[in-house]
Amino acid sequence: MTDSLSSDAATGTMTDSSLTAPLVAVDRAGSELRRGGVAVIYSPQRTLLVGAAEAADAGLLDRLEGMAQASARLIITARRASVIGVPGDYPQTRQGAGVVALTIPQPVEETLVAVLSDPAAAINSNNPPPILPDGCLAEAVEAGEPDEAAVILTKLARLLPAAIVVPLTLPAGQTAEGWAQERSIPAVAATAITGYHETAARTLRQVGEARVPLEGAENTRIIAFRPADGGIEHLAIVIGTPEAGKPVLARLHSECFTGDLLGSLRCDCGDQLRGAILSISEAGAGVLLYLAQEGRGIGLVNKLRAYQLQDSGFDTLDANGQLGFDDDERIYQPAAEMLRQLGFDSVRLMTNNPLKVEALARHGVTVSERVPHVFQSNVHNLSYLRTKAVKGGHLF
Ligand SMILES: Nc1nc2c(ncn2[C@@H]2O[C@H](COP(=O)(O)OP(=O)(O)OP(=O)(O)O)[C@@H](O)[C@H]2O)c(=O)[nH]1
Ligand SMILES: [Zn+2]
């Protein structure tokens, strides 16, 4: 591999090994956290040894504090901090709210980590918010710090958004990467984590394509796009032959295992997916992007957790907040990149969600028209749809 940009002959896309290396480092560190292991996250100023709060049993906590010879702190999102009643001066918005570092009693106990980071543990512990023990200190973390990257890494790993971190004092002359390598621990730069989504989108390339006749849309091709770290693929479902140079009828559909595949009545996704395919087919041509961002970007497991919270009274947006997520964690750079590679720079977008229109425009795709995409509600999804309209600004 070379460090220079090179053109992929089959797709015309650009690949760059200097983009791939950080993606792979993020992927390795995230996998390690999912397995209950530790990773090193570094910036020019600070190096942290990190584990996922979700995996924090006594063994992991001992390992973190023992290896780093320092006290662990719990990093949670500002949204979770607000839910559990952490006092302090940190942003408490519903979107992109940053993270808070909690200094908690030493040695850090796994049950306290669970109660602070996991609403299910908090509910089961009969310990309703505010649940912060006396003497805990909360500190807002500056954007770009490795602590913030640690939480983003847990999100990328589709875990609860919370991390245990211990500062590392490196021996003179040793780099964070060198320290980690000696101990067979993955190391990743904080900037690689914070820039992951954008970099991954830039490296998407077409890796597979086939004709797949669908019910009601027989002239259909499916094209798979994969990022350079071998991460999860997004799919373009191209129906008919969209005319070049004219706005293409397009639907951005975020993966919903329960709705799309199982026909869950909790949401409207199944109807929207099949409805979009039929409408595009009836219109003659268009494209549906099937985006791998289940549960508005929080992953299937966290969506199931959110459903459980909804069954105890929280609406779809507040359930995300209880877990420490933003209302909507989705990103649309991959969609914009796929459209670009397919040769579409202007779309007639089938959506009720103004955020999708804004996001596509921000990523350089012209939305010439918003085409409403509304389906009949049912008794199970009525309040979900109402919340999206009243609190989420969806246009029904
Ligand atoms: N976190 C969370 N995700 C949900 C819930 N219900 C559905 N989803 C996810 O929401 C996404 C559905 O979004 P879309 O239909 O693409 O988008 P939308 O924001 O409703 O906008 P439209 O284009 O108008 O449909 C899928 O990823 C679902 O898995 C929920 O209660 N909580
Ligand atoms: Zn759904």
| Listed residues 158, 183, 198: the one ending a domain | 198
In a domain, residue 395? The reply is: no
In a domain, residue 325? The reply is: no
pLDDT by residue, tens only, the chain of 396 residues: 333 334 444 444 445 778 999 999 999 999 999 999 999 999 999 999 999 999 999 999 999 988 988 889 999 999 999 888 888 777 766 665 689 999 988 888 899 999 999 999 887 776 665 567 777 888 888 888 899 999 999 999 999 999 999 999 999 999 999 999 999 999 999 999 999 999 999 999 999 999 999 999 999 999 999 999 998 999 999 999 999 889 999 999 999 999 999 999 999 999 999 999 999 999 999 999 999 999 999 999 999 999 999 999 999 999 999 999 999 999 999 999 999 999 999 999 999 999 999 999 999 999 999 999 988 889 888 888 888 888 888 887
Closest alpha carbon to 212 in 239, 245, 174, 251 = 239
Are 212 and 181 contained in the same domain? no
Are 365 and 246 contained in the same domain? yes
What counts of helices (H) and strands (E) characterise the chain? 16, 16
In a domain, residue 323? The reply is: no
Q: Ligand 1 atom 15: the closest Cα is on which residue?
A: 269
pLDDT in tens, 339-370: 999 999 999 999 999 999 999 999 999 999 99
Are 179 and 235 contained in the same domain? no
Give me the residues paired with residue 370 across strands: 349
* Active site annotation includes 330: yes
**Whether residue 330 has its Cβ less than 6 Å from ligand 1:** no
**Whether residue 316 has its Cβ less than 6 Å from ligand 1:** yes
pLDDT in tens, 77-133: 999 998 888 887 777 666 656 899 999 888 888 999 999 999 998 877 766 655 677
Catalytic-labelled residue, pool 226, 260, 330, 340: 330
Give the closest ligand to the alpha carbon of residue 270. 2
Are 219 and 335 contained in the same domain? yes
In a domain, residue 357? The reply is: yes
Q: Ligand 1 atom 25: the closest Cα is on which residue?
A: 351
Residue 218's contacts (CB-CB under 8 Å, 6 or more residues apart) are: none
Domain of residue 372 covers 204-293+330-390
| Listed residues 169, 198, 227: the one ending a domain | 198
| Listed residues 165, 183, 198: the one ending a domain | 198
In a domain, residue 363? The reply is: yes
**Whether residue 305 has its Cβ less than 6 Å from ligand 1:** no
Domain count, the chain: 2
Quote the pLDDT of residue 140.
Answer: 86
In a domain, residue 304? The reply is: no
Quote the pLDDT of residue 367.
Answer: 97
> Residues annotated as binding site for GTP?
251-255, 272, 294-296, 316, 351, 356
Give the pair of three-digit tokens for residue 178. 């060198």
Are 186 and 242 contained in the same domain? no
Catalytic-labelled residue, pool 89, 221, 328, 386: 328
Q: What are phi and psi of 147, to 5 degrees?
A: -65, -45
Residue 375's contacts (CB-CB under 8 Å, 6 or more residues apart) are: 268, 271, 272, 275
**Whether residue 356 has its Cβ less than 6 Å from ligand 1:** yes
Give the closest ligand to the alpha carbon of residue 307. 1
Which CATH number does the domain housing residue 239 bear?
Answer: 3.40.50.10990
Give the closest ligand to the alpha carbon of residue 316. 1
From the CA of 392, give the closest atom in ligand 1. 19
Are 33 and 122 contained in the same domain? yes
Give the pair of three-digit tokens for residue 57. 């049993």
Quote the pLDDT of residue 359.
Answer: 96
Are 109 and 164 contained in the same domain? yes
In a domain, residue 98? The reply is: yes
From the CA of 252, give the closest atom in ligand 1. 16
Closest alpha carbon to 246 in 275, 206, 288, 285 = 285
Are 133 and 281 contained in the same domain? no
In a domain, residue 126? The reply is: yes
Conformational region of residue 158, where left means phi above 0, alpha means psi within -120 to 50, and beta covers everything else: left
**Whether residue 271 has its Cβ less than 6 Å from ligand 1:** no
